[in-house]
Structure 1
Amino acid sequence: MLNNLGITQIYVLDQDQALDFYVGKLGLEVHTDADLGFMRWLTVNVPGVPDREILLERPGPPAMSENTAAEVRELLTKGATGGTLFFRCDDAYKTHAELKAKGVELPEEPTDRDYGIDFGLRDPFGNNIRIGQMKQP
């Protein structure tokens, strides 16, 4: 039976640029950076939470054909593919201000909602990110 989700994956066009954003701007840490020969296995995680990784993967073989990879790259640049990463924080207003000071483009201000305070942004490749301070049950 399943008991944990260890790795989730998003597509990025440039893994070094992804590192700059996810580590340099959002404050995640590198978990694994390995050259497997056929691909670079690059994962990051929230500091102190190494059992939940995000694979920052370039679209291409061996996971898909080069033709499919080209289509995925085109959709990614339009913000029309991928899912959403949801991060939690203790103080949404403070996190928003810290990210803004680091030069992160933030199209939304933190908004108080029924479930907590959150805001959204996109990474440099068009992937959706939401950051929220959740209300206690």
Structure 2
Amino acid sequence: MNITIHQSYLPQDDPEAALAFYRDALGFEVRSDVGYEGLRWIVVGPPGQPDTAIVLTPPAVDPGITDEERRVITEMMAKGTYAGVNLATDDLDGLFAKLQAGDIEVVQEPTDQPYGVRDCAFRDPAGNMVRVQQR
């Protein structure tokens, strides 16, 4: 049996800001952009990896979520503690310089971690933690 990661979900509360980050800053392809009842689901992914994607989804749209849960999700997103993704690149310092030159919140500059990786961290426009490690 061969199992792969096909899609991962991250909340976004501003589709245009999400596109500016994932498409324009990170260079991801937009695979689909679907609107429904004033909300948008945007699927992005790295070029050359058509089977790997991130779905940028409106937060807390599941009909099973209570109003209290929606409030908590909104608060956690505002603090940047709700969701995140780990990415990898062959040029961490180059990517860091490119992102730092833009209007992107830097959480951690490139650092050699004690557990054996070199990485940096940013927040996307919705507050999601985006960690990038040197491949």
Give the structure-2-normalised TM-score: 0.83
Identify the residue that residue 21 of structure 1 maps to in structure 2: 21
Identity fraction in percent: 32
Identify the residue that residue 56 of structure 1 maps to in structure 2: 56
- Report the alpha carbon displacement of residue 36 of structure 1 after superposing the two structures with TM: 4.6
What is the SS of the residue equivalent to 1:118? strand
Which runs of 5 or more structure 2 residues have no equivalent in the other structure?
none
Cα distance between partner residues in 2 of 1:16 and 1:64:
27
Q: Which amino acid aligns with 1:127?
A: N
- Report the alpha carbon displacement of residue 23 of structure 1 after superposing the two structures with TM: 1.1
More strand by share: 2
Cα distance between partner residues in 2 of 1:60 and 1:109:
31
Identify the residue that residue 104 of structure 1 maps to in structure 2: 104
Q: CA RMSD in A?
A: 2.2
Preserved CA contact (<8 Å) 2:5 2:52: yes
Q: Does residue 130 in structure 1 map to residue 131 in structure 2?
A: yes
Identify the residue that residue 41 of structure 1 maps to in structure 2: 41
Identify the residue that residue 119 of structure 1 maps to in structure 2: 120
Cα distance between partner residues in 2 of 1:61 and 1:10:
12
Give the structure-1-normalised TM-score: 0.82
- CA change 1:59–1:2 in 2 (3 A) is farther
Q: Does residue 72 in structure 1 map to residue 37 in structure 2?
A: no
Cα distance between partner residues in 1 of 2:102 and 2:51:
27
Count of aligned pairs: 133
Preserved CA contact (<8 Å) 1:30 1:43: yes
Preserved CA contact (<8 Å) 1:13 1:73: no
What is the SS of the residue equivalent to 1:75? helix
Identify the residue that residue 11 of structure 1 maps to in structure 2: 11
Cα distance between partner residues in 1 of 2:132 and 2:62:
32
